[in-house]
Amino acid sequence: MNDTKPKLLKEITIVGGGSAGWMTAAALARMLPTGDVKITLVESEQIGTIGVGEATIPDMARFNRNLGIDEREFLKATNGTFKLGIEFNNWGKLGDKYFHPFGGHGVDMHGVDFHQYWLHSLKAGNTNSIEEYSICSVAAKHNKFVLPEQNPKSVLSNLAYAYHFDATAYAAFLRKYAENLGVKRIEGKIETVEQDPTTGNISALHLEDGNIVKGELFFDCSGFSSLLLDKTLGVKYRDWSQWLPCNTAKTVATKQDGPMLPYTRSTAKETGWQWRIPTQQRVGNGYIYCDKYISDEEANKVLLDGLDGEPLSDVRTIRFKTGCQEVFWEKNCIGIGLSAGFLEPLESTSLFLIQQGITRFIALYPNGELPDIVRNEYNRLMTREFEQVRDFIILHYKATQRDDSPFWRYCRDMEIPESLQRKMALFQHGGRIFRDENELFTRASWVAVMLGQNIYPETNDPILANIPKDGIQHSLSSMKKSMEQITTKLPDHAYFIEKYTEMKPQSGFTMPNTGKM
């Protein structure tokens, strides 16, 4: 065994703030050995961030817990609300509506997936949609919320949640957190980037005010400009717009008008889709579209006509190209957030991909030599992560029967990646879904979107062929009844937030009676 002491990293420099920069700073400051590494973040208040109302997936709660952040403090600081899933309107056909819940559907029985039992029950005349067997879907429909139960026999143990919140406020919250842990923030715009003439590694940042910031490892969190990874190191971009043709977003916040819904809403329009993200004090809205099929002026009108509250500002326009960098870690620089790639927020994965970029790095934390084997593995894992999320988002566009516009006809007829072709074909044949290498989206997520957009299997699991239909229907009816009964006892979403955030961090919250499944 080699007893030579390895060279250790001493200086990590982060370029850019916003959610990506401050999530990176906070996680590194929390996870790396205290005092071993100097962490510096460079940002300029002159450069705005993309930050809008942010919708997330359940991994966000885990990220905050790993940082030791109290959920109540987080919700208060970011005007946060809870999220049980996403409601999709007009995606399969005009007039269609379905719900993609975070928790699963029903309960798997005897080693067979629940959705196979549900498919089997349709032959016996069951007219209930599969989402009526999801506690997240049922609670969301009635605007109810409570924290999950730990008891696995409880209906509420199957509840999973994420958040809606103000992304700008979250970055400010994490800035305070990170600075308290010793992260140094430097205000300034970068004028030039210095590279080592021998290795090509980035060695220093020269700011407009003459300040020079050095580092051994750099994180590029500079947004779409990708100042280090693209403009300095010349990493090429993988363009996925042939599968995801939308390239522009219009965004605006509105006053909170109506109930505080515990879910995101996505409504397909003629040339794209519109989101609605409710926080405590306002609602984030946006329209994502392809400018090949609609003008910016027309898109503005579509967005404003689809609002259900008074706008609080002028409409912002954001241009993007869907895809990702060919590599995420080049030389001594790692891209995080928009500088690494962009996948439209249809399934609220933007912050998840930031989290993955950070946690993969910490899991592979290198010595000061930055070995190629570590860099290559990081790039392999992050490429796989982006491609898996990409395929799930493409599914929503491809699995449509809409033919009311050139945009939807293009999406319906386009060629798709072979990896997605296989998944869709396997489900269409026998209702089977297999996750690839621990991918983000669960079997229940794929089932929700496929069925929600009218992909029904030709057959279902033959293991169930000889099971009496009456027995299956009895089990399903029992599950449905339990969910309906417990939902009536749950508090209103807004009421829960009000009471929950009033509590002291260590106090308990009285749960309603839960019932058993």
Percent of the chain with pLDDT over 90: 85
pLDDT at 1: 52
Q: Above 80 in pLDDT, residue 256?
A: yes
* pLDDT attached to residue 123: 85
pLDDT of residue 261: 97
Q: How confident is the model at residue 4 (pLDDT cuts 50, 70, 90)?
A: low
Same domain, 64 and 140: no
Query: Using 50, 70 and 90 to split pLDDT, how confident is the model at 13?
Result: very high
Q: Are 327 and 235 in contact (CB under 8 A)?
A: yes
- 142 plus 183 within the same structural domain: no
pLDDT in tens, 227-249: 999 999 999 999 999 999 999 99
Residue 424 has a pLDDT of: 97
423 and 377 in a common domain: no
On average, the pLDDT of the chain sits at 93
* The pLDDT value given to residue 438: 81
Say what the pLDDT of residue 516 is.
33
340 with 375, same domain? yes
| Residue reference for tokens 């999320």 | 389
Q: Does some domain include residue 68?
A: yes
**Which has the minimum average pLDDT: 47-61, 141-155, 228-242?**
47-61
CATH number, position 338: 3.50.50.60
Could you read off the pLDDT of 74-105 as tens digits, one per residue? 999 999 999 999 999 999 999 999 999 999 99
In angstroms, the CA 485 to CA 141 distance is 14
| 199 compared with 465, residue with greater pLDDT | 199
Nearest to residue 69, comparing CAs of 186, 219, 184, 180?
Answer: 180
Taking the CB of residue 355, how many other CB atoms lie within 10 A of it? 22
Mean pLDDT of 267-272: 97
> pLDDT tens digit string along 15-47?
999 999 999 999 999 999 767 899 999 998 876
| Cβ contact 220:226 at 8 Å | yes
Q: What pLDDT does residue 384 have?
A: 96
Work out the average pLDDT over 325-354: 97
Work out the number of other CB atoms within 10 angstroms of the CB of residue 316: 14
The per-residue pLDDT for 2 is 59
pLDDT reading at 514 higher than 80 = no
Note the pLDDT of residue 435: 86
Helix or strand run (H / E) with residue 387: helix 372-398
Same domain, residue pair 330 and 368: yes
Lowest mean pLDDT among 42-56, 77-91, 357-371: 42-56
pLDDT of 48 > 80? The answer is no
Asked if residue 256 is part of any domain, the answer here is no
pLDDT in tens, 299-327: 999 999 999 999 999 999 999 999 999 99
Instruction: Please state, in angstroms and rounded to a whole number, the distance separating the CA atoms of residues 369 and 248.
Output: 41
Contacts of 135 (CB under 8 A, 6+ apart): 103, 155, 156, 158, 159, 483, 486, 487
Question: Phi/psi of residue 197, each to 5°?
Answer: -65, -20
What single letter denotes the amino acid at residue 479? M
Asked if the model's pLDDT at residue 508 lies above 70, the reply is: no
How many domains does one find in the chain? 2
Q: Mean pLDDT over residues 289-304, rounded?
A: 97
- The pLDDT of residue 298 is 98
Lowest mean pLDDT among 262-271, 300-309, 429-438: 429-438
The answer to the question of residue 309 being in a domain is no
Do 431 and 495 share a domain, yes or no?
A: yes
Burial grade of 438 (CB within 10 A; 0-12, 13-18, 19 or more): exposed
Residues 369 and 496 reside in one and the same domain: no
Residue 61 falls within a domain, yes or no?
A: yes
Is residue 140 situated within a structural domain?
A: yes
Do the domain assignments include residue 342? yes
Residues in contact with 307: Cβ distance below 8 Å, sequence separation at least 6, in sequence order: 252, 254, 285
Q: Is 267 among the domain residues?
A: no
Q: Is the pTM of this model over 0.85?
A: yes
CA distances from 271 to 276, 303, 394 (A): 17, 12, 15
Give the three-class secondary structure for 327. Answer: coil
Q: Are residues 152 and 170 in the same domain?
A: no
User: 346 and 205, same structural domain?
Assistant: yes
pLDDT at residue 202 is higher than 90: yes
In a domain, 275, yes or no: no
Sign of CA pseudo-dihedral 344, 347, 352, 357? negative
For residue 491, pLDDT beyond 80? yes
Q: What φ, ψ does residue 239 adopt, rounded to 5°?
A: -90, 120
pLDDT computed for residue 34 by the predictor: 67
Distance CA 509, CA 147 (A): 9
Q: Does residue 421 share a domain with residue 499?
A: yes
Q: Is the pLDDT of residue 62 over 60?
A: yes
The percentage of residues in the chain with a pLDDT greater than 70, rounded to a whole number, is 95
Clarify whether residues 230 and 361 are in a common domain.
yes
* pLDDT greater at residue 515 or residue 80: 80
Pairing status of strand 316-319 against strand 248-255: antiparallel
User: Given a cut of 80, is residue 408 above it in pLDDT?
Assistant: yes
Residue ranges making up the domain that contains 352: 11-80+165-238+326-388
